[in-house]
Amino acid sequence: MTKIKIGLLGLGNVGSGVAQILQENAANIFKRTGKQIELKSVLVRDLNKKRNSNLTNVHTTTDAHSILTDPEIQIIVEVLGGEHPTYEYICQALQNKKFVVTANKEVMAKHHAELTQLAHQNGVDIYYEASVGGGIPIIQTLKVGYAANQLKAIYGILNGTTNYILTKIEEDHLEFNQALQEAQKLGFAEADPTMDISGLDTAYKLTILAGIAFKANLTLADISYEGIQSISLKDILYADEFGYKIKLLAMGQRTKNNEFCLSVQPFMLPKSHPLAAVRNEFNAIYVVGDAIQDAMLYGKGAGSLPTGSAVVSDIMDIAFNYPHNSRRNLETDFPNVKVLPADLQQNKFYLRLLVNDEFGVLEKIAGIFGKNKVSILKVIQKDIIAKQAELVILTHLVQQKDMQQAIIELKKLNCVQEVCAIIKVGLE
């Protein structure tokens, strides 16, 4: 009977989920792969820390090198997170001809081309299902399930922390900071939530997904991203009134000229769109293909067992084929593609302004929009606050650079006190 031995780098939230699934589901894993999979060694930071994981017959060590060079280990599972030293560990593992399974979105977003190439050169493979969407098998779906399609677009709610915060603002009428604190108290947000709320976490994930969906060699620099820090309860309530939900949305679109628009930002989605119904910490990915047309995958994007499930299914995929490497998962030849700079991308916009409540103001604002080719769909005077009028404006499709120029000019008007919010709108 073929035995496959695993070296696990990291025994935190995801690592302990991996250990638990490997132990509790061992009989099924054996039945499905025909291989006995054994957790041989685990890299930990502190050998004396008390843990819930059952580590009977598992060697724990603080020495990564001893695992990466162990000739008995065929698969290295990396669940440490962060770029360094994990990137170096993964390179060493591949150079030592070990298969790699990683949950590391940062490393995969930054080094995808080079790591798949290195795996190829060494006759092994690197799997990273757990790097995006936790318990949602989106990478396998894009690579295998939708292989027959030319994909036109991929939209995703890829960050549970921000989706939870936006849901709380909307449903409990909290301001951003209150919702963030609540998310931290309940363990949905990290003590330092910067990577989540700035949109960077989602941008890493979009780099990975759009690369696979469009078979394109993409880097983080191809994605323009912004976070949810400036989203206020007021805009969420106004969005609701107009028939929209605000979500932190990852967007990848193929244009008619085979160019690509890639962005991450707070976005107003019509309530009727399936992504608008994704609440709390859940993730979802909506894909448009020439054959499948529209499809959506939904589930938990993080957590010990959902992410552990993605890691273990990658291990099983490798084990099933082992010792052969059929390379169905290895795509090393993504070409460079033309990504449209954010400036040239087109969107509809929602704007909220505070202006002086006096005659002639609307005319000045409309003049600036007209001059910059920004066509207005609706203007609504929502409120009077301390003698200032609150205006909400919805535009037709406009090039981002024209909108930016209009905003620069609006801010120079004496009658405009503040541009409070600018949010993209669409997917009607």
Question: Using CA atoms, how far apart are residues 301 and 103, in angstroms rounded to an integer?
Answer: 12
Phi-psi region of 54 (alpha: psi -120 to 50; beta: other; left: phi over 0): beta
Question: Measured from the CB atom, is 201 or 235 closer to ligand HSE?
Answer: 201
By the rule CB under 6 A, 201 interacts with ligand HSE: yes
Question: Using CA atoms, how far apart are residues 242 and 235, in angstroms rounded to an integer?
Answer: 10
By the rule CB under 6 A, 264 interacts with ligand HSE: no
By the rule CB under 6 A, 301 interacts with ligand HSE: yes
Cβ at position 262, least distance to ligand HSE in Å:
19
Question: Measured from the CB atom, is 135 or 289 closer to ligand HSE?
Answer: 135
Task: Choose the stretch contacting ligand HSE; rule: CB under 6 A; options: 2-10, 118-126, 159-167, 401-409.
Answer: 159-167
Angle in degrees, CA 32, 33, 36, rounded to 5? 115
Question: How many residues line the site for ligand HSE (CB under 6 A)?
Answer: 7
Question: Using CA atoms, how far apart are residues 87 and 20, in angstroms rounded to an integer?
Answer: 25
- Choosing from 159, 167, 313, 345, the residue that interacts with ligand HSE (CB under 6 A) is 159
Cβ at position 159, least distance to ligand HSE in Å:
4
Strand partners for 3 = 36
Contact 262, 276 (CB under 8 A): no
Radius of gyration (C-alpha) of the chain in whole angstroms:
24
Residue from 35, 205, 348, 424 carrying the catalytic annotation: 205
By the rule CB under 6 A, 107 interacts with ligand HSE: no
Active site residue 205: yes
Question: Using CA atoms, how far apart are residues 175 and 172, in angstroms rounded to an integer?
Answer: 9
**Beta strand segments in 110-223, E:** 126-127, 151-157
- Choosing from 10, 137, 160, 227, the residue that interacts with ligand HSE (CB under 6 A) is 160
Count the neighbouring beta carbons within 10 Å of the beta carbon of residue 205: 26
Question: Measured from the CB atom, is 90 or 132 closer to ligand HSE?
Answer: 132
Cβ at position 14, least distance to ligand HSE in Å:
9
Cβ at position 407, least distance to ligand HSE in Å:
30
Question: Measured from the CB atom, is 264 or 351 closer to ligand HSE?
Answer: 264
Q: In the window 209-228, what residues touch ligand HSE (CB under 6 A)?
A: none
- Choosing from 41, 104, 140, 161, the residue that interacts with ligand HSE (CB under 6 A) is 161
Pick the closest to residue 58 from 18, 28, 99 (CA basis).
18
- Choosing from 70, 129, 196, 317, the residue that interacts with ligand HSE (CB under 6 A) is 196
Question: Using CA atoms, how far apart are residues 147 and 258, in angstroms rounded to an integer?
Answer: 18
Task: Choose the stretch contacting ligand HSE; rule: CB under 6 A; options: 24-32, 154-162, 235-243, 345-353.
Answer: 154-162
Token couple for 128? 């990273």
Contact 248, 228 (CB under 8 A): yes
Q: Which residues have a catalytic role annotated?
A: 205
Binding site for ligand HSE (CB under 6 A): 159-161, 196, 201, 301-302
